[in-house]
């Protein structure tokens, strides 16, 4: 990170389903945030209106904005709701069932009523071409003009807006795929073409096809959205460069995003983790678990040494994704999860959710199923007016429902509802803790060494419960846990990933091949940077390789020193692998042949430091508090209640206590105390 | 149940989490591919009498919930903290270990000096000695050819390795170093669990810890029985065949009589064929083996998906398994490929369930999953290079209201296939076609899922392929409720050329440059009368290439012209059909099976098995082989056309009955 400050103001924008969040950062590091109701039928409208409104309120001219970073889940929602373009697929002969057969797996082999995912492209819109490239580059069967003409005619007849081209072995020999894609572009200029080797030239045709198909599926819609967004920003005289957040916790230029919308689909959670990194770093805590508890579910992400963890085995709806994404995994119940009792009298939480509508019983919108949120309310953890007073909650209805559940659990008397609510929160916490322990065991980590960064509307509410259950001693609550994605967007670096499948033994004879592959990555990165680069930003390549001993099955991803790649120092590359193998598996085999499977290059350019500072302390009103009784550990006890904005840096709050703010409520349980940090972050520790 | 309903739910999650942690730890630090890639291992927590009360939800083999560690625990009554028991013996553990490469560990967990439960862990090891590398071969004739037999002994005593035992194990393995690494990984994982268990006891108390074990099993048993009560009381019979047992060409029959009474099931396997001198036997020692119940577990979990996985699921199920049969072989019968017989047994159990509750159970799945193993000589290393060209799976059976799954879901194994690009980069082959196999799903109002066809061309001389364990060449998966049987497995050399040859069941096949091999896997059976299928659905099947135009007319009575339905012709064709509607629990078998049973009917075969029971188990197989050689001398290989051979069944059947009577 460079310490140079950027001239002018930066805007971070996150388009969500309900709200479009906008964060404005001044060149003095000051932060202002704003929520505009989203306009799902035309999402960039809310962006335009929101920015215009914000500039107006702050009294800024559009020319004073020097950078816009924008995040959106439109691509993801398009896939999940299956609202994408009518898409076709072109493959090598004999490979037409690639989407039907996939990798043979089905979600639950023990479900006699199970089914497989419905492919995004039906079998009759998959076309084969007879030219077939072998792994050594030999082409069997020639390029055939007539085939292309036939396919083009079908595309027109069927009203296809987007086509994916995925030929076998194109990860190494992309020429035929290029030729066929170009021929299709020439024949059908109205059809958008996605090519597998251009998007992600990694061996494994099904996974590469999924990237290409998903890209093609959202391509017309996303390209249209980005075009309209750019137009609307210009219409309010905003001429700053526009960047789009990506799955890997970085950003790319809007022009690049128009051709590779696949890179943006999982950017929302990634931005949350990027923002958490900044939160934890400002407290000097590099190892943390961020927990985002929302309405229907909870997610977690583990970060070691301040660097987000990447996964190349994630899922988008039903489909696998091998692009590197910031690793976020579900850990179960959210605020809307339903609390119920099964036929045998056992208390259950989830997996069903009451959703946003009708929502929990206490919302009074016709919801009849008790939820986790109802439990918080019955225990008096959350205030009766929600979202800064925009919504009033019906505690009496929640008490009635939980008293009835409590009766069936054998609780009687005046506190039946409270005891049932507390039991349900215990079950929900046990389920989350179970998933957290699984995640830690998978990585060989001890979760007690981590701090918990609480995100989402219910994250800070549930954080000390989950910390107690998992043995975590420190919880961090960011200033604005509900709008962290927009903040994460502004904090994201310029970043793109590249890949090459190598699959060669690490011996001197392959040095030249290896060097050639690294050089093609660098060339591709230069082309990208020429387009997306902001002047004056230095870009650094980070190299990684997936390697294995020749007799092993799964490769291990190892960071390679930059010098080792640039000088093709095979010894240093081998050494990096031996060391990592010993760290992970406890042994190394010095005599064994090492195979280098895949080379990854990530190019990162840091935007100048935003120098974000605390909301100025002097502006804060003096600390004040009220009291209310909350039900904790089987008893009613008196808790102090604070307004978040009233907590000046250095203020200490002893549990049991409640801290309220517009986007969340923080529950500080007995045995914990919180201290407001100069950065505005609330740090909660065990006594 | 004595545990309160909140604590029980919490402990259920905690226990399952402990078993997942054991699993992840093994996977992270183990050495061998079986563990790290194939996930052929698992772990569970078991009660002091050997019943599983917690099982992992995310990792490892999901098939072995019905594991019983009682005999192995009883064999080692004197255990101290820091002891670990090891065994792989199928007969001494009464089927807990079911073939020798699976090494099992039992780890006693203590609280204040008392054993409070055990950890059970197993992993498939690369090699435990025996006749062939990897220890497994269908042609292993007895257990001694299958490798080192380890009775329950202490591998770890008072926290120290018993190095003598480890030395014997390593001395008998072709891969000693990876075995040692895997054993160490398993022990490290088991120790993690002791710490977790102590934490749970510290928080919830020893009484709750002990009581909840029994209560969780009881809770699952109640929920399981509630599902099984949906099966009407009665007696239901079903049988099915493996094509042969490798050494003889006689179909091998597995037979079941299932008696249902108020959610209690008795599985009586009387009438099942004698044990074989090949390795297809399932060692059960007459008890309920975990290889008998996976399809029942699927049935139970289909109708109540969140029941905690523990031995309670199977409490309502009891078995009768005559000794000396494929399902209860006598020591030292070989057992290495018991999974092949278990695949067919699952179809038998599914058929009995279907006959009992036709609305709740699908038609048969493809019933075979074939790894095509390719071997070539590598000139650079002067060694044979071996890899799996492809795992071939077929379709699943249709059920009421839903077509079967196309090209997937035919087995519970849930293995992944190999990318074509990886295979072509590793072996001298070109995969020319890897596609859904049209017309291979059983016709039905709901169509059976279609199977898969794989064609590859060999680019070198002197290559070989092996496709052992393959089945369903002779008898096809059955259809249900008026739905029809699906199709046969086929293997063809140089299809579509003058040199085309039907290969049949492949043990080993030599191939040279330019040879093309095609493997076709069946689909699943159909459900309901195909002439009642919505013509639009059939038109879509034709458009997607899953049913041919001819198949649509022949099997569904749907006439397709230029991609559209000819409604008038379809109505005529459907009206012309003269057959009786099938009953709801009707099962449709293929012509080969009907021909076979026109001679070898149930009654006759039952009488043969009963006669053979008068002789020692080791003699039965030979006597049966000699009998068939005399009566049915034409029975050779899976290519034998049974409908032709048995075109005049009655005299054959009479001869067979006379021969049986004088046994």
Contact (CB<8Å) B416/A444: no
pLDDT band for A297, please (50, 70, 90 cuts): confident
* Separation in Å, CA A235 to CA A51, A238, A325, B479: 12, 7, 34, 65
Percent of chain B with pLDDT over 90: 79
Strand order in the sheet with A625-632: A625-632, A635-643, A657-661, A664-668
Q: How buried is residue B149: exposed, middle or buried, by Cβ count under 10 Å (0-12/13-18/19+)?
A: buried
E-state strands within B329-450: 370-378, 383-392, 429-436
* Shortest Cα distance, chain A CAs vs residue B598, angstroms: 32
Query: Could you say which of B6, B33, B452 has the minimum Cβ distance to residue A101?
Result: B452
Q: Nearest CA of chain A to the CA of B363: how many Å?
A: 10
Tell me, yes or no, whether B648 lies in a domain: yes
**A619-628, B220-229, B383-392, B620-629: which range is least confident on average?**
A619-628
Q: Please judge whether B417 and A104 are an interchain contact, meaning their C-beta atoms are less than 8 angstroms apart.
A: yes
Q: Does residue A106 belong to the interface with chain B, where contact is any CB pair within 8 Å?
A: yes
Residue B167 lies in a domain: yes
Most B-contacting residue of A92, A102, A107, A109 (CB-CB within 10 A), to test interface: A109
The pLDDT value recorded for residue B657 is: 96
Shortest CA gap B568–chain A (Å): 26
d(CA B139, CA B131): 10
User: How many interface pairs between A and B have CB atoms less than 8 angstroms apart?
Assistant: 185
Q: What is the band of B414 on the pLDDT scale with cuts at 50, 70, 90?
A: low
The answer to whether the CB atoms of B544 and A124 lie below 8 A apart is yes
pLDDT in tens, B577-618: 877 778 888 999 999 999 999 999 999 999 999 999 999 999
Residues B53 and B165 reside in one and the same domain: yes
Q: Which helix (H) or strand (E) holds A99?
A: helix A98-101
- Does any domain span residue B604? yes
Query: Residue B26 — very low, low, confident or very high, per pLDDT cuts 50/70/90?
Result: confident
Cα distance between residue A392 and residue B613, in whole Å: 78
For residue A590, the chain B residues in CB contact (below 8 A) are none
Residue A551 has what pLDDT?
67
Q: What is the pLDDT of residue A553?
A: 67
Q: Is the pLDDT of residue B413 over 80?
A: no
Interface of A with B in 249-278 (CB under 8 A): none
Domain that holds residue B638: 590-661
Distance (Å, rounded) from C-alpha B532 to C-alpha B282?
41
* B104 and B188 inside one domain: yes
User: Residue A617's pLDDT is what?
Assistant: 42
State what percent of residues in chain A have pLDDT above 70. Answer: 96
Domain final residue, candidates B479, B498, B529? B529
A504 touches chain B (CB under 8 A): no
Instruction: Say yes or no to pLDDT of A273 above 90.
Output: yes
Looking at per-residue pLDDT, the higher value among B630 and A612 belongs to B630
How many C-alpha atoms does A223 have within 13 Å on its Cβ side?
18
B345 domain residue, yes or no: no
pLDDT at A621: 47
Does residue B298 sit at the A interface (CB-CB below 8 Å)? Answer: yes
Q: What is the pLDDT of residue B520?
A: 96
Query: Where residue A91 falls among pLDDT bands split at 50, 70, 90?
Result: very high
Mean pLDDT of chain B: 93
**Burial of residue B568 (number of CB atoms within 10 Å: 0-12, 13-18, 19+):** exposed
Chain B neighbours among A 208-227 (CB < 8 Å)? none
pLDDT tens digits for range B51-98: 999 999 888 888 899 999 999 999 999 999 999 999 999 999 999 999
Tokens of B221: 């048993």
Residue B637 has a pLDDT of 77
Query: Is the pLDDT at B3 greater than 80, yes or no?
Result: yes
- Identify the pLDDT of residue A613: 54
In angstroms, the Cα distances linking A87 to A84, A109, A126, A158, A317 are 8, 30, 9, 10, 18
pLDDT tens per residue, range A238-266: 999 999 999 999 999 999 999 999 999 99
Q: In terms of domains, do B392 and B516 share one?
A: yes
Binned at pLDDT 50, 70 and 90, residue A618 comes out as very low
Domain count of the fold of chain B: 3
Q: Does residue B210 share a domain with residue B105?
A: yes
Choose among B17, B393, B543: nearest Cβ to A438: B17
Looking at the structure, tell me whether residues B91 and B183 fall in a common domain. yes
Q: Are residues B608 and B468 in the same domain?
A: no
Which residue is closest to A585 within chain B, CA to CA? B29
Q: Which residues of B touch A123 (CB under 8 A)?
A: 436, 544-546
- Nearest residue of A to residue B456, measured between CA atoms: A94
pLDDT at B327 > cutoff 90:
yes
Q: Which positions ≥6 away from A279 have C-beta within 8 Å?
A: A453, A476, A478, A679, A681
Q: Is residue B332 part of a domain?
A: no
Q: Which residues of A touch B219 (CB under 8 A)?
A: 344, 346
Cβ distance of B417 and A124 shorter than 8 Å: no
Residue A539: per-residue pLDDT: 87
- Per-residue pLDDT, averaged over A600-623, amounts to 66
Which of B9, B16, B405 lies nearest to residue A427, judging by beta carbons? B9
* Distance (Å, whole) CA B364 – CA B361: 9
Looking at the fold, whether B614 and B482 belong to one and the same domain comes out as no
A107 at B interface, C-beta within 8 A: no
Q: What is the pLDDT of residues A499-552, one digit of tens each?
A: 999 999 999 999 999 999 999 999 999 999 988 877 778 889 999 999 998 766
pLDDT in tens, A345-363: 999 998 888 876 788 999 8
If you average pLDDT over each of A579-588, B22-31, B105-114, B402-411, which comes out highest? B105-114
Q: Does B17 touch chain A (CB under 8 A)?
A: yes
Any idea what the Cα angle at residue A393 is, between residues A392 and A397, rounded to 5°? 140
What one-character DSSP code corresponds to residue B274?
Answer: B
pLDDT in tens, B343-378: 999 999 999 999 999 999 999 999 998 888 898 988
Distances (CA, A) of B516 to A132, A215, B221, B407, B454: 17, 36, 52, 22, 10
Q: What's the N-to-C CA distance of chain B in angstroms?
A: 55
Give the per-residue pLDDT at A623: 60
pLDDT value, residue A624: 66
| SS3 state at B71 | helix
Separation between Cα atoms, residue B99 and residue B519, nearest integer Å: 29
What pLDDT score does A610 carry? 66
Is residue A68 very low, low, confident or very high in pLDDT (cuts 50, 70, 90)? very high
pLDDT of residue B33: 66
* Residue from A167, A206, A204 nearest A184 by CA: A167
Average confidence score pLDDT of chain A: 91
Say if the Cβ atoms of B393 and A430 lie within 8 Å.
no
CA–CA gap between residue B440 and residue B445 (Å, rounded):
15
Nearest CA in chain A to B453: A94
| A104 contacts B302? CB cut-off 8 A | no
Put simply, the chain A residues between 280 and 339 with a CB less than 8 A from any chain B CB are none
Nearest to A430 among B14, B181, B415 (CB): B14
Q: In chain B, which among 97-156 make CB contacts under 8 A with chain A? A: none
- How far does the CA of residue A409 sit from the closest CA of chain B (Å)? 7
Q: Which of residues 417-476 of B touch A (CB under 8 A)?
A: 417, 419-422, 424-425, 430-436, 452, 455
Domain assignment present for B316:
no
Cα-to-chain-centroid distance, residue B324: 21
Please say if the pLDDT value at position A4 is more than 60: no
Please report the pLDDT score of residue A8 as a whole number. 84
What are the pLDDT digits (tens) for B548-565?
999 999 999 999 999 999
| Better-predicted residue by pLDDT, B181 or B530 | B530
> In the structure, what pLDDT confidence band is assigned to residue A1 with cuts at 50, 70 and 90?
very low
Handedness of CA B573, B579, B584, B585 (dihedral sign): negative
The last residue of a domain, from among B191, B222, B253 = B222
Among A88, A110, A200, A436, which would you mutate to test the B interface (most chain B Cβ atoms within 10 Å of its Cβ)? A110
* Domain contains B150: yes
Q: Are residues B483 and B599 in the same domain?
A: no
For A130, name the nearest residue in chain B, comparing CA atoms only.
B432
Residues B512 and B595 in one domain: no
Are both B93 and B218 inside the same structural domain? yes
CA torsion A342→A347→A351→A355, rounded to 10°?
Answer: 100
Q: Which of residues B415 and B521 earns the better pLDDT score?
A: B521
**Closest to A463 measured CA to CA, from A350, A331, A311, A272:** A331
Would you state the structure tokens that stand for residue A396, as one six-digit string? Answer: 């009496």
pLDDT tens-digit map of A117-164 = 999 999 999 999 999 999 999 999 999 999 999 999 999 999 999 999
Domain boundary among B529, B551, B581: B529
* pLDDT classification of A622: cutoffs 50, 70, 90: very low
Task: Identify the pLDDT of residue A627.
Answer: 93
B393 and B499 co-located in one domain: yes
Q: For residues B627 and B508, state if they share a domain.
A: no
Among chain B residues, the shortest Cα distance to A443 is held by B28
pLDDT at B39 (0 to 100): 76
- Could you give the domains of chain A? 9-79+224-267 (3.30.420.40), 83-211 (3.40.1360), 280-490 (3.30.420), 492-605 (3.30.1490)
Q: Chain A residue closest to B203 (CA)? A: A469
Predicted confidence band at B467 (pLDDT cuts at 50, 70, 90)? Answer: confident
B282 near A CB under 8 A: no
How far is CA A83 from its chain centroid? 21
Residue B149 lies in a domain: yes
Neighboring chain B residues of A586 at a CB cutoff of 8 Å: 29
């Amino acid at each position: 990170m460079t310490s140079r400050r950027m001239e002018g103001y930066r805007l971070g924008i996150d388009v969500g389903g309900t709200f479009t969040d906008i964060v404005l950062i001044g060149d003095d590091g000051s932060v202002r945030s704003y929520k505009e109701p989203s306009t799902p039928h035309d999402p960039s409208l809310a962006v335009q209106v929101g920015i215009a409104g914000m500039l107006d309120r702050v009294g800024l001219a559009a020319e004073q904005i020097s950078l816009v970073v924008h995040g959106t889940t439109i691509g993801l929602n398009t896939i999940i709701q299956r609202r994408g373009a009518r898409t076709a697929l072109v493959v090598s002969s004999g490979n037409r069932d690639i989407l039907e057969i996939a990798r043979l797996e089905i979600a639950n082999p023990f479900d006699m009523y199970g089914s497989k995912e419905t492919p995004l492209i039906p079998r009759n819109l998959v076309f084969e071409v007879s030219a077939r490239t072998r792994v050594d580059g030999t082409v069997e069967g020639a390029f055939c003009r007539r085939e292309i003409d036939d396919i083009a005619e079908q595309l027109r007849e069927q009203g296809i807006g987007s086509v994916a081209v995925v030929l076998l072995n194109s990860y190494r020999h992309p020429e035929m795929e290029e030729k066929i894609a170009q021929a299709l572009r020439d024949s059908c200029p109205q059809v958008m073409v996605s090519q597998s080797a251009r998007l992600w030239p990694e061996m494994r045709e099904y996974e590469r096809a999924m990237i290409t198909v998903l890209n093609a599926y959202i391509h017309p819609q996303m390209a249209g959205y980005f075009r309209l967004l750019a137009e609307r920003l210009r219409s309010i005289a905003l001429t700053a460069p526009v960047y789009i957040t990506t799955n890997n916790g970085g950003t790319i230029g809007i022009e690049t995003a128009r051709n590779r919308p696949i890179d943006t689909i999982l950017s929302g959670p990634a931005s949350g983790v990027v923002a958490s990194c900044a939160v934890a770093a400002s407290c000097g805590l590099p190892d943390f678990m961020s927990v985002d508890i929302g309405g229907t579910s909870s997610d977690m992400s583990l970060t070691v040494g301040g660097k987000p963890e990447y996964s190349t085995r994630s899922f988008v709806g039903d489909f696998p994704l091998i692009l590197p994404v910031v690793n976020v995994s579900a850990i179960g119940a959210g605020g809307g999860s339903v609390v119920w009792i099964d036929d045998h009298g056992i208390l259950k939480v989830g997996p069903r959710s009451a959703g946003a509508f009708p929502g929990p019983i206490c919302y009074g919108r016709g919801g009849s199923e008790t939820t986790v949120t109802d439990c918080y309310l019955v225990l008096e953890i959350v205030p009766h007016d929600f979202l800064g007073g925009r919504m009033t909650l019906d505690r009496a209805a929640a008490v009635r429902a939980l008293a009835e559940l409590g009766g069936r659990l054998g609780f009687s008397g005046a506190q039946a509802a409270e005891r049932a609510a507390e039991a349900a929160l215990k079950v929900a916490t046990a389920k989350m803790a179970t998933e957290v322990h699984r995640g830690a065991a998978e990585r060989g980590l001890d979760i007690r060494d981590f701090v918990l960064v609480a995100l989402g509307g219910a994250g800070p509410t549930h954080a000390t419960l989950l910390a107690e259950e998992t043995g975590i001693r420190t919880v961090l609550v960011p200033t604005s846990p509900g709008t962290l994605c927009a903040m994460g967007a502004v904090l994201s670096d310029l970043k793109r990933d590249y890949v090459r499948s190598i699959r060669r033994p690490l011996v001197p004879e392959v040095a030249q091949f290896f060097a050639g592959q690294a050089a093609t990555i660098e060339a591709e990165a230069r082309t990208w940077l020429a387009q997306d680069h902001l002047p004056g930003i230095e870009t650094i390549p980070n190299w990684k390789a997936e390697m294995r001993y020749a007799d092993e099955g799964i490769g291990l991803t190892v960071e390679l020193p930059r010098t080792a790649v640039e000088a093709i120092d095979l010894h240093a590359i081998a050494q990096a692998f031996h060391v990592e193998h010993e760290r992970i598996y406890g042994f190394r085999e010095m005599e064994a042949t090492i195979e280098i499977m895949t080379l990854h290059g990530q190019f990162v350019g840091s935007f100048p430091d935003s120098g974000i500072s605390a909301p100025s302390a002097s502006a804060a009103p003096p600390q004040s508090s009220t009291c209310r009784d909350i039900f904790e550990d089987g008893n009613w006890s008196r808790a102090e209640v604070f307004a978040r904005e009233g907590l000046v840096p250095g203020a200490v709050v002893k549990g049991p206590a409640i801290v309220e703010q517009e986007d969340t409520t923080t529950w500080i349980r007995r045995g914990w105390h919180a201290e407001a940090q100069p950065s505005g972050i609330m740090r909660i520790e065990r006594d | 149940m004595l545990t309160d309903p909140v604590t029980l739910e919490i402990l259920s999650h905690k226990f399952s989490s402990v078993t997942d942690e054991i699993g992840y730890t093994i996977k992270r630090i183990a050495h061998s591919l079986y563990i790290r890639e194939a996930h052929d291992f698992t772990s569970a927590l078991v009660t002091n009498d050997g019943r599983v009360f917690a099982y992992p939800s995310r990792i490892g083999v999901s098939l072995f919930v019905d594991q019983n560690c009682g005999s192995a625990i009883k064999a080692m009554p004197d255990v101290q903290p820091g002891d670990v028991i090891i065994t792989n013996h199928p007969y001494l553990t009464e089927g807990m270990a079911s073939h020798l490469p699976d090494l099992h560990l039992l780890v006693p967990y203590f609280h204040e000096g008392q054993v409070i439960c055990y950890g059970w862990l197993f992993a498939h090891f690369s090699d435990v000695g025996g006749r062939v590398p990897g220890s497994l071969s269908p042609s292993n004739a007895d257990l001694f050819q299958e490798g080192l037999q380890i009775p329950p002994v202490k591998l770890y005593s008072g926290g120290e390795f018993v190095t003598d035992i480890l030395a014997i194990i390593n001395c008998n393995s072709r891969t000693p170093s990876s075995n040692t690494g895997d054993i160490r990984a398993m022990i490290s994982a088991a120790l993690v669990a002791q710490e977790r268990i102590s934490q749970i006891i510290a928080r919830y108390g020893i009484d709750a810890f002990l009581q909840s074990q029994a209560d969780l099993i009881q809770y699952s048993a109640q929920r399981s029985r509630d599902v099984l009560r949906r099966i009407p009381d009665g007696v239901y019979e079903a049988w099915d065949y493996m094509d042969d047992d490798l050494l003889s060409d006689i179909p091998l029959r597995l037979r079941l009589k299932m008696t249902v009474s108020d959610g209690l099931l008795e599985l009586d396997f009387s009438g099942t064929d004698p044990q074989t001198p090949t390795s297809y036997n399932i060692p059960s020692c007459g008890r309920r083996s975990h290889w008998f119940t996976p399809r029942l577990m699927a049935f139970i979990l289909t109708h109540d998906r969140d029941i905690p996985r523990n031995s309670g699921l199977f409490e309502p199920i009891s078995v009768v398994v005559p000794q000396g049969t494929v399902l209860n072989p006598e020591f030292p019968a070989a057992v290495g490929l018991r999974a092949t017989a278990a695949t067919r047994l699952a179809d038998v159990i599914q058929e009995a369930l279907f006959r009992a509750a036709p609305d709740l159970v699908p038609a048969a799945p493809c019933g075979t999953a074939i790894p095509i193993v390719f071997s070539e000589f590598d000139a650079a290393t002067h060694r044979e290079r071996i890899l799996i060209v492809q795992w071939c799976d077929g379709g699943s059976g249709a059920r009421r209201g839903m077509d079967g799954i196309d090209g997937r879901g035919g087995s519970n194994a849930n293995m992944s296939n190999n990318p074509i690009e990886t295979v072509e980069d590793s072996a001298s082959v070109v995969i020319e076609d890897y596609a859904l196999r049209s017309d291979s799903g059983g016709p039905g109002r709901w169509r059976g899922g279609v199977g898969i066809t794989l064609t590859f061309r060999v680019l070198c001389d002197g290559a070989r392929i092996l496709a052992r364990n393959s089945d369903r060449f002779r008898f096809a998966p059955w259809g249900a409720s008026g739905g029809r049987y699906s199709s046969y497995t086929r293997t063809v050399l140089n299809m579509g050329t003058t040199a085309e040859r039907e290969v049949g069941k492949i043990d080993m096949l030599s191939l040279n440059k330019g040879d093309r091999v095609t493997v076709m896997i069946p689909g699943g059976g159909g459900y309901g009368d195909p002439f009642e299928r919505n013509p639009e659905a059939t038109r879509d099947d034709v458009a997607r290439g899953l049913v041919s135009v001819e198949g649509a007319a022949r099997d569904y009575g749907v006439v397709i012209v230029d991609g559209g339905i000819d409604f008038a012709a379809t109505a005529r064709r459907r009206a012309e059909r003269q057959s009786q509607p099938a009953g709801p629990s009707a099962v449709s078998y293929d012509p080969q099976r009907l021909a076979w049973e026109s001679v070898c009917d149930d009654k006759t075969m039952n009488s043969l098995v009963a006669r053979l029971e008068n002789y020692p188990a080791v003699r039965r197989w030979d006597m049966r082989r000699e009998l068939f050689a005399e009566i049915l001398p034409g029975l050779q290989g899976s290519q034998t056309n049974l409908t032709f051979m048995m075109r005049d069944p009655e005299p054959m059947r009479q001869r067979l009955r006379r021969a049986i009577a004088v046994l």
